[in-house]
Amino acid sequence: NAGVTQTPKFQVLKTGQSMTLQCAQDMNHEYMSWYRQDPGMGLRLIHYSVGAGITDQGEVPNGYNVSRSTTEDFPLRLLSAAPSQTSVYFCASKPRREASYEQYFGPGTRLTVT
């Protein structure tokens, strides 16, 4: 049981490049989400999914796309990287969408955009 895995661990992009951050979970969780962590701002929700085929925007969705074709995978796509997207990205999952469930976090991807 690997939990939530993320790849890559580190990435450097040039402005305008695109890339996909991978996230997978093996716990059969319905709910998955992406956060970004910036100094002094805590974690902010980018996108989330309550099940395969269902995604929605969080509080900072601009510049990012997601899809959820399977229960296990929830990739995050940066369409045209900008320096403002330099951040640490965390994927998380929980069994169901109810508020009382804890979220399980991946180890993070540190992205630098130059």
Tokens of 107: 């180890």
At 24, give phi and psi (nearest 5°).
-145, 145
From 25, 108, 111, 113, residue interacting with other proteins (rule: CB under 8 A): 108
**54 to 83: interface string for other proteins, x by CB under 8 A:** --x-xx------------------------
Minimum CB separation of residue 26 from other proteins in Å reads 16
Considering the complex, state which of residue 14 and residue 39 has its C-beta at the smaller distance from other proteins: 39
Other Cβ atoms within 10 Å of 62 Cβ, number: 10
Site for other proteins in 2-41 (CB under 8 A): 4, 33, 40-41
93-109 b/e with 16+ CB inside 10 Å = b?
A: bbeeeeeeeebbbbebb
Considering the complex, state which of residue 74 and residue 90 has its C-beta at the smaller distance from other proteins: 90
